[in-house]
Homo-oligomer: A and B are copies of this chain.
Amino acid sequence: MKGISIKDIAKQAGVSPTTVSFVLNGKAKEKRISDQVSKKILKLAAKLKYKPNQLARGLRTGKTKTIGLIVEDIANHFFANVAKIVEEEADKFGYKVLYGSTEDNLVKARGLLEVLEYRQVDGYIITPTPNLDKEIEVLKNSRKPMVLMDRYLPQIPTNYVMVNNFQGAYDAAEYLLELGYQKIALVTTTSEQIQMKERFNGFTAAMKAHRASLPRKMCKKIPFGATNEEAVSQITEFIKGLPGLDAIFFTTNYLGIYGIESVKELGMKIGEDVALISFDDHDLFRLHTPGITCVAQPIHDIARNLIQVLMNELNQHNNQINQVVLPATLVKRESCRKKAKTVA
């Protein structure tokens, strides 16, 4: 049950395979193929439902029209949504997407990169894990089209598309202050990743700018590999140790989710006893009662820009670097409200 090949068309049209190839690649004019012959070939191709063999084509041209997408976790709301748009956008350019999840694990990331090389993908969209620098450098030096997402490697100048983590967190802090919250805590992870650092920095910068204080004891770092239960209990203890606390900022959505659990465990009411605000949106935040205020990433824009940048690289090997930083938007829900001024 073999498919129709260029030879079959050639035979039926009474011309050579070369001619067929020229016509089907739109080079009829350039290669001076008569309109008569051109039309005949085009008609036949349509009639026989000719589909070029991508393998043969790829073997000859060295292009697979495939891009590799490496995410942290495809089952995660943010990455799944980016992946979806990436796939749709890539499709518009005739590219398919091979994906894989790293779980933020260096070894897995290496494995994925290897498989993608093996598969001869034309370009890469990568969410780098910690310590992936060397591999990224290699990719960069071999001039493979590549764009990083969600985070970048400060030591290596590369293309990337990210949200403005600093600004997003800054806005979150300002918003809390504006509403009158005074005893504000922050929960982040021990991960040294740049995006987490920038969220932390943005938040503290805003606090400083408004002469509010964020002493060390108001900041909690949850170990990166912590289980659900560990994380929740650590946050619970942290909150317990802070009487008078009136708002908490979480630097990422899963921490925010743990936070909701912790707050409930303590019998506190979200939005009344304590305000919650988290980086990254989530279905849960939207549908929770009360809704959880958050700093949302522009998922569509991120995905679109990723493909844009990659296609740029793919089509013209200029060595200009594209670094896209997109604004985060504050999504206001009921977990933060105007606070009646209380005497400290």
Contact = CB atoms under 8 A, between A and B. Distances in A.
Contact of A87 (B64, B101, B264): B101
Contact of A56 (B52, B59, B115): B59
Contacts of A58: 55
Contact of A75 (B84, B117, B284): B84
Contacts of A1: 142-143
A18 interface: no
Interface in A53-112: 53-56, 58-59, 64, 66, 73-77, 80-81, 83-84, 87, 91, 96-101
A117 B143 CA distance: 31
A283 interface: yes
A158 interface: no
Contacts of A66: 98
A291 to B, nearest CB: 11
Given A84-B74, A287-B257, A119 B96 contact: yes
A257 B284 contact: no
A260 interface: yes
Given A115-B91, A261-B287, A55 B64 contact: yes
Q: Which of A59, A73, A75, A257 has the most CB of B within 10 A?
A: A75
28 contacts: A1-B142, A51-B118, A52-B118, A53-B120, A54-B118, A54-B120, A55-B56, A55-B58, A56-B59, A59-B59, A74-B80, A74-B84, A75-B77, A75-B81, A75-B83, A75-B84, A76-B80, A84-B101, A91-B100, A91-B115, A96-B98, A96-B119, A97-B98, A97-B99, A98-B98, A257-B287, A264-B289, A283-B284
Listed from nearest, the 5 A-B pairs whose CB atoms lie closest are: A55-B59, A80-B80, A55-B58, A75-B80, A75-B84
Interface of A: 1, 51-56, 58-59, 64, 66, 73-77, 80-81, 83-84, 87, 91, 96-101, 115, 117-120, 142-143, 257, 260-261, 264, 282-284, 287-289
